[in-house]
Amino acid sequence: MYKTKAYSAASPTSSLIPTTITRRDPTEHDIQIEILFCGICHSDLHQARNEWSGAMPTVYPCIPGHEIVGRVLQAGTAVKTFKAGDLAAVGCMVDSDRTCTDCLDGLEQFCKNVTLTYNFPDKHLGGVTYGGYSDSIVVDERFVLRIPANINLAGAAPLLCAGITTYSPMRHWGVTKGKKVGVVGLGGLGHMAVKFAHALGAHVVIFTTSANKKEDALRLGANEVVISRNSDEMKKHAGSFDFILDAVSADHDINAYIELLRRDGTITLVGAPEKPLAVAAFGLLFGRRSLSGSPIGGIPETQEMLDFCGKHNITADVEVIPIQKVNEAYDRLLKSDVKYRFSIDMASLRSE
């Protein structure tokens, strides 16, 4: 075991502060990674403040962070895919049972025994896993990903969650050239969805309540921008979409978007509203439309996504901050005061 620097929350109401944590020594199948950048996901804030206490209660101290980009410090003797000095990445998962049908299908995100990157039981050291708001991390090679050398590392970090969360459903539901794709909400997830849909060749329409986001939506790759509060603008698109990705976590009228789907169209939720959405059955029945949900992707698909980003030079739009500003970033996140993700420069932790 070895000690490493980190930032942790001690309680639901406390700020994140510097601390020292214990990591396991790498085994023959492990990779030790020096963390260069770690993205801030909204779920980091939820877990640090124990806002998912019903489904996923937080164990303190909590070290968040599951959008990790770094450089290999050392690789175990049995590791064949990485060597010291390589760029590497870690997303939302660090282990699974590897034997169930989901794992064998490369869909580890659905494994009943998945181990998430933080706040999940740690089978090696006891307690819970600690995330990427730290100087280094040790992960089994099967859950370590390759980062294309040509993309910006700070912008690559959010790909490990925001990126795969939006890429995976588009691949699953067949977003390709010639499809008409809607994206509801232009935030951390939505801006990645626009970039992916555009790169996949779709005709992309952004739905937003903010008229001042139109210019940015077009810059990101949208072909059209619809102000969702304008009923006339919405009606113009009735029955025309092959696929809609709904990235909104606030309460909203899902039926207005269901009506925009063509026959056999699908709307997929990647946002998670606190209250259940009211769904009118007839909107689905007429047109054989589907309402679905999607989390992150599995390890093979996440690697596919990263390779796709390398080919198309796609990264998240980020504001890079030092770790010392993480609490300020959390406050700004609540106000949607970031375009479009925060990425922590972890060199700032090593300078303390």
Residue 53 clears pLDDT 90, i.e. is over it: no
Whether residues 8 and 153 fall in one domain? yes
Tell me how far CA of residue 225 lies from CA of 80, 210, 218, 241, 251, in angstroms.
47, 10, 8, 14, 21
For residue 34, the model assigns a pLDDT of 98
Asked whether 261 and 287 are in contact (CB, 8 A), the reply is yes
Q: What CATH number corresponds to the domain at position 68?
A: 3.90.180.10
Q: What is the pLDDT of residue 272?
A: 84
* 218 in the same domain as 100: no
- Would you state the structure tokens that stand for residue 213, as one six-digit string? 């986001």
DSSP-assigned beta bridge partners for residue 93: 116
Q: How buried is residue 210: exposed, middle or buried, by Cβ count under 10 Å (0-12/13-18/19+)?
A: middle
Residues 8 and 139 grouped into a single domain: yes
d(C-alpha 67, C-alpha 289), whole Å: 34
**CATH number of the domain residue 228 falls in:** 3.40.50.720
Contact predicate 137/2, CB 8 Å:
no
What span, in angstroms and rounded, lies between the C-alpha atoms of 13 and 350? 26
Q: Region 197-219: what's the mean pLDDT?
A: 96
Cβ–Cβ under 8 Å, residues 258 and 283: yes
Model confidence band, residue 273 (pLDDT cutoffs 50, 70, 90):
confident
Q: State the residue range of the domain holding 257.
A: 162-293
**Same domain as 175, residue 65:** no
- Residue 62: is its pLDDT beyond 90? yes
> Does residue 141 share a domain with residue 18?
yes
pLDDT band at 54 (very low <50, low <70, confident <90, very high): confident
Q: What pLDDT shows up at residue 55?
A: 85
* 67 and 195 housed in the same domain: no
Q: Are residues 166 and 243 in the same domain?
A: yes
Convert the pLDDT of each residue in 330-340 to its tens digit.
Answer: 999 999 999 99
Query: Which residues face 320 on adjacent strands?
Result: 343
Query: Which pair of structure tokens corresponds to residue 194?
Result: 């626009």
For residue 199, the SS3 value is helix
Same domain, 7 and 99: yes
- Mean of the pLDDT values across residues 204-229? 95
Count how many domains the chain has. Answer: 2
Q: Can you give the pLDDT at residue 82?
A: 97
Distance CA(197)–CA(180), nearest Å, equals 9
Contact status, residue 160 vs residue 39, Cβ threshold 8 Å: yes
